[in-house]
Amino acid sequence: MKRHLRLIALFVRATVQSQLEYRSGVLGRLLANLMSVGTGILLLWAMFQQVSSVGGWNFDQVLVLVGVVYTVEFVVEIWFYPSLNPVSGYVRKGEFDLLLLKPVSSQFLVTFRYLQVLEFSGLVIGLAVIGIGMHRLGSLTLPNLLILAVFLVVALAIIYSLYLALSTLAFWFTRIEEVASIIWLHSTAGSFPVAAYPGWARVLFTFVLPVAFVTNVPAQAATGRLTWDWALGALAFAATALLGSGWLWGRAIRSYSSASS
């Protein structure tokens, strides 16, 4: 455990060092993030000039939901995407060999390799949007924040598992960057309360592409509306997804044979 924490610290340090080598962009990224979040909220506000609720959620509740979407999206952007997206490249170029020869789990090595903590600004914006929404609803309390934290972690575990499973396909299909773009679905489909969708889409977005668990559940937790069935459902889904994607990774490693001799 201590060795793993030390490794994560070293990987973060290494990633920060690499990023500092090419440091332009950090400020640009901050501005772009502010713009995209601002536009999103403006659109939402315009929509709520016409309707008073979407799927039973009012403006402030949807604002929290959108905050959750941004938060999850930024974590994907600074962590899962940079770390897991190169996997298919490792496989294609045969660099995976060197990873497999390390006496540390290869899943661990690829998961934490590129944690771009320098780009945290987007994350702060996402959390701020959640905070503003919660404040307007009067639900900004310590218990709500704690439950929110728990279900944000659960949401991230689900997204991580999904991304890992998609990256694992690289071992069989070699080129999967295009397939992996499905991962961004949570930011489009997930920006609305799942209750607003028709029945078949609700099932799809809950169990197949679990945007309900990834965005709706944390938003419900933040606004004190989370029910036991959804909470347990999210936990069960996350646990299954983590175990399943880990198992798939193990399978992939076993069937791996180097791309070049």
Partner 1 sequence: MSPIIHVEKLCKDYEVHQKEPGLAGSFRSFFRRKFQIVPAVRDVSFDIAPGEIVGFLGPNGAGKTTTLKVLSGLLYPTSGKVDVLGFTPQERKSAFLKSITMVMGQKQQLSWDLTPADSFLVNQAIYDVADGDYRSRLGELTEMLELQPVLNKPVRKLSLGERMKCELAAALLHAPKILFLDEPTIGLDVNMQQAVRRFVADYNKRTGASIILTSHYMADVEALAERVLVIDGGRLVFDGDLSALVAARAPNKVLRLQLEAAVARERLAQFAPVRNLDGLTAELLAPRGNVAEIAARILNEIAVADIAIEDMPIEEVLGALFQRPSAPQAAQAAS
Site residues for partner 1 per CB under 8 A? 3, 6-7, 10-11, 13-14, 17-18, 21, 93-95, 97-98, 100-104, 109, 254, 257-258, 260-261
Nearer to partner 1 among residue 19 and residue 36 (C-beta):
19
Residue 125's contacts (CB-CB under 8 Å, 6 or more residues apart) are: 33, 34, 37, 70, 74
Nearer to partner 1 among residue 18 and residue 227 (C-beta):
18
Buried b (16+ CB within 10 A) or exposed e, 169-204: bbbeeeebeeebeebeebbebbbbbbeebeeeeeeb
- How far apart (Å, rounded) are the C-alpha atoms in residues 106 and 100? 6
Structure tokens at 114: 């590129």
Distance from first CA to last CA of the chain, Å, rounded?
Answer: 35
Q: How far is the CB of 231 from partner 1 (least distance, A)?
A: 37
Q: How far is the CB of 22 from partner 1 (least distance, A)?
A: 8
Report which of 123, 122, 124, 134 is spatially closest to residue 64, judged by C-alpha positions.
134
Q: Is the separation of the CB atoms in 183 and 163 below 8 Å?
A: yes
Q: What are the DSSP calls for 152-173, one per residue? A: HHHHHHHHHHHHHHHHHTHHHH
Nearer to partner 1 among residue 95 and residue 177 (C-beta):
95
Nearer to partner 1 among residue 109 and residue 140 (C-beta):
109
Q: How far is the CB of 242 from partner 1 (least distance, A)?
A: 22
Nearer to partner 1 among residue 8 and residue 30 (C-beta):
8
Q: How far is the CB of 253 from partner 1 (least distance, A)?
A: 9
Kindly list the distances between the CA atom of residue 244 and the CA atoms of 231, 236, 247, in Å, as whole numbers in the listed order: 20, 12, 5
Q: How far is the CB of 121 from partner 1 (least distance, A)?
A: 21
Structure tokens at 35: 């713009």
Nearer to partner 1 among residue 6 and residue 251 (C-beta):
6
Nearer to partner 1 among residue 17 and residue 49 (C-beta):
17
User: Other C-beta atoms within 10 Å of 13: how many?
Assistant: 12
